[in-house]
């Protein structure tokens, strides 16, 4: 089986959804294993703009990840705003 790698520009919602599906979990299964509510998983996978970081980390922990600072390319950000 080929190991999957993730693009660092993958959105959080896409990362979680992809990892969940790779493990064969339903949203309910992921919620139960992470100790969060099903509603939270749905909101996470639908890219709700405000989520509790501690709960996001509970989910990411199952995949061996956690939230952290990511350096930004300020030039790219300025170009996108133009």
- Report the chain's terminal Cα–Cα distance, integer Å: 44
Residues contacting 72, CB < 8 A, separation 6+: none
Do residues 19 and 59 lie in contact, with contact meaning Cβ atoms separated by under 8 Å?
no
**Domains located in the chain, CATH noted:** 12-81 (1.10.260.40)
In this prediction the pTM is 0.74
| Phi, psi (rounded to 5 degrees) for 16 | -65, -45
Q: Give the model's confidence band at 72: pLDDT under 50 very low, under 70 low, under 90 confident, else very high.
A: confident
Write the pLDDT tens digit of every residue in 55-67: 999 999 999 999 9
What percent of the chain stands above pLDDT 90? 68
* Cβ contact 44:12 at 8 Å: yes
Question: How high is the pLDDT of residue 51?
Answer: 94
CA-CA distance, 60 to 46, in Å (whole number)?
16
């Amino acid at each position: 089986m080929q190991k999957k790698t993730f693009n660092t520009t993958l959105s959080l919602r896409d990362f979680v959804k992809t990892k969940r599906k790779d493990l064969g979990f339903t949203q309910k299964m992921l919620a139960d294993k992470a100790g969060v509510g099903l509603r939270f998983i749905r909101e996470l996978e639908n890219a709700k703009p405000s989520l509790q970081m501690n709960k996001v980390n509970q989910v990411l922990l199952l995949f061996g990840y956690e939230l952290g600072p990511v350096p930004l390319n300020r030039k790219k950000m300025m170009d996108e705003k133009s």
